[in-house]
């Protein structure tokens, strides 16, 4: 448009000559979108720097191929939990430490949760060599931190290893739970960015999260009946609560209340976990 408001230079307002007299909704929307994108980019940069400061690299030796490699791990005391989801997913301020729970050999494809990476029988090693290493084409090199895509890929690799080596049902169930948490974190990250094309991807990821929750529940139900406690890392009360929570999340409200009741009426359960179980029961009854 022409410089309709020229002549204000002597008043110190020379820059006002080209302003729109009437607001343009389309331009306002574009400006707001650009502002949100800039804020999201600044937040992502800060989050990256915070996460980078929380991790270190350590050297591991593969039990399958003897290759020495570096893996990323969270520095002791750096991950400070601020809250938990109903299914016990921890939320941290500076870093999502769940991303860094798996150690994976980039050469032969052996992967496991760090807790039991070095726990492997000769029979299990033979199975992994035959069914994974013989086919494995290599693990892509990660950047300075793990993205959620990196973490999901590594945890899926660990899950395949657990299946191939006939790992305990509770170990496989726990990996399914971790994968549900990581997929949830990924779609929450997408939602926070607010990009127009995110909706379909979020819907797909929510369906994937549900699949992992269903498998985690299936595994913990079986392990509860057949294994001794702890179930991987879960004591009896925590496992009972988690089964209640998973039933709630997949829509089995009656089962959720039944398992929550096992905690609520257990004299040996702590007040803290009883309160959490009551919350499950209230959610299942639709009181919250």
Output the pTM of the full model: 0.84
What is the C-alpha separation between 220 and 236, in angstroms, rounded?
Answer: 11
Is residue 288 over pLDDT 70?
A: no
Calculate the alpha carbon distances from 107 to 94, 117, 136, 199 in Å.
31, 15, 8, 36
Is residue 150 over pLDDT 60?
A: yes
What's the pLDDT tens digit per position in 241-279? 999 999 999 999 999 999 999 999 999 999 999 999 999
Residues 6+ apart with CB under 8 A from 9: none
Q: What is the mean pLDDT of residues 138-164?
A: 96
Q: What is the mean pLDDT of the chain?
A: 91
219 vs 39, more confident: 219
pLDDT band per the 50, 70, 90 thresholds, residue 44: low
Q: Tell me if 165 sits within 8 A of 134, measured CB to CB.
A: no
13-22, 28-37, 90-99, 119-128, range with the lowest pLDDT: 28-37
26-30, 150-154, 172-176, range with the lowest pLDDT: 26-30
Q: How far apart are the first and last CA of the chain?
A: 55
Is residue 213 over pLDDT 90?
A: yes
The candidate with the shortest Cα–Cα distance to 215, out of 283, 270, 163, 284, is 163
What's the pLDDT tens digit per position in 48-91? 668 999 999 999 999 999 999 999 999 998 888 999 999 999 99
What is the C-alpha separation between 5 and 18, in angstroms, rounded?
Answer: 7
CA atoms within 13 A on the CB side of 53: 9
What's the pLDDT tens digit per position in 160-184? 999 999 999 999 999 999 999 999 9
What is the C-alpha separation between 8 and 16, in angstroms, rounded?
Answer: 8
pLDDT value for 2: 59
pLDDT value for 39: 56
Query: Angle at CA 34, nearest 5°, toward 31 and 38?
Result: 140
């Amino acid at each position: 448009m022409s410089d309709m408001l020229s002549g204000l230079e002597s008043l110190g307002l020379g820059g006002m000559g080209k302003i729109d007299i009437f607001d343009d909704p389309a331009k306002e929307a574009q400006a707001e979108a650009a502002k949100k994108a800039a804020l999201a980019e600044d937040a992502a940069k800060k989050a990256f720097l915070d996460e980078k400061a929380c991790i270190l690299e350590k050297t591991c030796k593969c039990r399958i191929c003897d290759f020495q490699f570096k893996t990323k791990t969270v520095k002791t005391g750096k991950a400070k939990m601020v809250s938990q989801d109903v299914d016990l997913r921890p939320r941290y301020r500076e870093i999502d430490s769940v991303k860094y729970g798996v150690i994976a050999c980039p050469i032969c494809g052996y992967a496991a949760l760090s807790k039991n990476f070095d726990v492997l029988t000769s029979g299990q090693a033979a199975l992994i060599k035959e069914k994974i290493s013989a086919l494995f084409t290599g693990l892509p090199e990660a950047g300075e931190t793990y993205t959620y895509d990196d973490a999901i890929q590594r945890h899926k690799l660990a899950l395949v290893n657990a299946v191939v080596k006939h790992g305990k049902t509770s170990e496989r169930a726990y990996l399914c739970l971790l994968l549900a948490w990581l997929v949830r974190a990924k779609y929450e990250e997408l939602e926070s960015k607010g990009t127009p094309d995110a909706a379909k991807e979020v819907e797909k990821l929510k369906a994937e999260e549900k699949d992992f929750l269903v498998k985690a529940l299936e595994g913990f139900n079986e392990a509860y009946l057949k294994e001794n406690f702890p179930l991987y890392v879960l004591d009896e009360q925590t496992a009972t609560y988690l089964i209640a929570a998973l039933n709630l999340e997949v829509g089995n409200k009656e089962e959720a209340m039944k398992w929550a009741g096992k905690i609520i009426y257990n004299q040996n359960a702590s007040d803290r976990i009883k309160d959490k179980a009551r919350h499950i029961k209230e959610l299942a009854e639709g009181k919250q």
